[in-house]
């Protein structure tokens, strides 16, 4: 059992899109699809129990990852502070699940789903393939982020608006500027804007630093816009179906 928690893992490294990776993605997708049935079948108590369970799930995996890095001696302020997008949205998702705050949903819907989906497709698992703890932690945490916002969108009926989209775009850029100067101050690479990460990501297809940061602006705008598009289409269809007032 100890070998699945060791820093010097002797098993196979994580392999993109192998059967285990696809199975993990499929399981997360299946849970997300189950929310469609849950919307009609769950009462308020069942919804509350699920929200608290998922909040506890996210806290467990996030805290245990920090503890393991302390045990390994790899915890540093340059790598483990909660300034990466997914680290921020883990804690925002926990707050949302407990308090059902709509303004937090606006952020986790766009940044949580958008960021965590990329992390699920190209995870930072490195040498730690299944069944190492790191592989499970990566999918449990990022999958939980996605499922938290999907739950509120599908089961609780929350939805983003055009104002939500504009606010998230604006404040994400403000946050990125702050993190940029933090990276300069402590030599970190939070948000991966100081340099590209050493593991395969979607950033690999973009230009070298610093030009990929500008390209990220367009990519992020397109991703967030695509996430709002279904709601925009529904609003336009609803507007067309309403009778014209005379």
Q: What does each of the 246 residues of the chain score in pLDDT, given as a tens digit?
A: 788 999 999 999 999 999 999 999 999 999 999 999 999 899 999 999 999 999 999 999 999 999 999 999 999 999 999 999 999 999 999 999 999 999 999 999 999 999 899 889 988 888 899 999 999 999 999 999 999 999 999 999 999 998 999 999 999 999 999 999 999 999 999 999 999 887 777 788 889 988 999 998 998 899 999 999 999 888 888 888 776 555
Looking at residue 243, what is its pLDDT? 66
Q: State phi, psi for 69 to the nearest 5 degrees.
A: -65, -35
| Burial group, residue 10, by CB count within 10 angstroms (0-12, 13-18, 19+) | exposed
Domain ranges for the chain: 10-241
Q: Is 239 exposed, middle or buried, given 0-12, 13-18 or 19+ CB atoms closer than 10 A? A: exposed
* N residues, the chain: 246
Distance CA 103, CA 164 (A): 8
Instruction: Please check whether residue 187 is in contact with residue 78, taking contact to mean a CB–CB distance below 8 angstroms.
Output: yes
Q: Find tokens 């916002």 and name the residue.
A: 149
Give the tokens for residue 117.
């989906």
Pick from 137, 142, 112, 117: nearest CA to 126: 137
Model confidence, pTM = 0.92
User: Cα–Cα distance between 36 and 232 in angstroms, integer?
Assistant: 21
The rounded distance, in Å, linking the Cα atoms of 180 and 83 is: 11
Query: Which two tokens mark 196?
Result: 């590209």
Residue with tokens 């604006």: 170
What's the pLDDT at 204?
A: 83
Give residue 122's pLDDT.
87
Q: What is the DSSP letter of 125?
A: -
Across 129-152, b (16+ Cβ under 10 Å) vs e yields bbebbbbbbbbbbbbbbbbbbbbb
The count of other CB atoms within 10 Å of the CB of residue 55 is 19
173 vs 3: CA distance, rounded Å: 41
């Amino acid at each position: 059992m100890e070998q699945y928690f060791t820093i010097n893992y002797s098993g196979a490294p994580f392999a993109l899109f192998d059967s285990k990776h696809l199975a993990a993605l499929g399981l997360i997708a299946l849970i997300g699809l189950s929310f469609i049935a849950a919307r009609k079948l769950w009462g308020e108590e069942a919804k509350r129990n699920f929200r608290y369970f998922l909040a506890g799930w996210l806290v467990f995996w996030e805290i245990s990852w920090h503890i393991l890095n302390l045990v390994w001696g790899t915890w540093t302020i340059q790598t483990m502070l909660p300034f990466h997008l997914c680290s921020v949205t883990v804690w925002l998702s926990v707050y949302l699940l407990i308090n059902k705050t709509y303004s937090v949903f606006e952020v986790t819907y766009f940044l949580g789903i958008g960021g965590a989906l990329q992390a699920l497709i190209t995870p930072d698992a490195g040498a730690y393939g299944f069944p190492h703890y790191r592989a499970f932690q990566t999918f449990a945490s990022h999958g939980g982020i996605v499922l938290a916002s999907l739950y509120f969108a599908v089961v609780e009926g929350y939805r983003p608006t055009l104002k939500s989209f504009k606010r998230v775009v604006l404040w994400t850029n403000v946050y990125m500027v702050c993190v940029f100067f933090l990276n300069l101050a402590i030599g970190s690479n939070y948000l991966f804007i100081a340099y590209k990460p050493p593991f395969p990501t979607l950033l690999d297809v973009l230009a070298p630093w610093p030009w990929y940061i500008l390209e990220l602006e367009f990519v992020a705008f397109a991703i967030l816009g695509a996430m709002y598009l279904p709601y925009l289409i529904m609003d336009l269809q609803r507007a067309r179906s309403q009778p014209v007032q005379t």
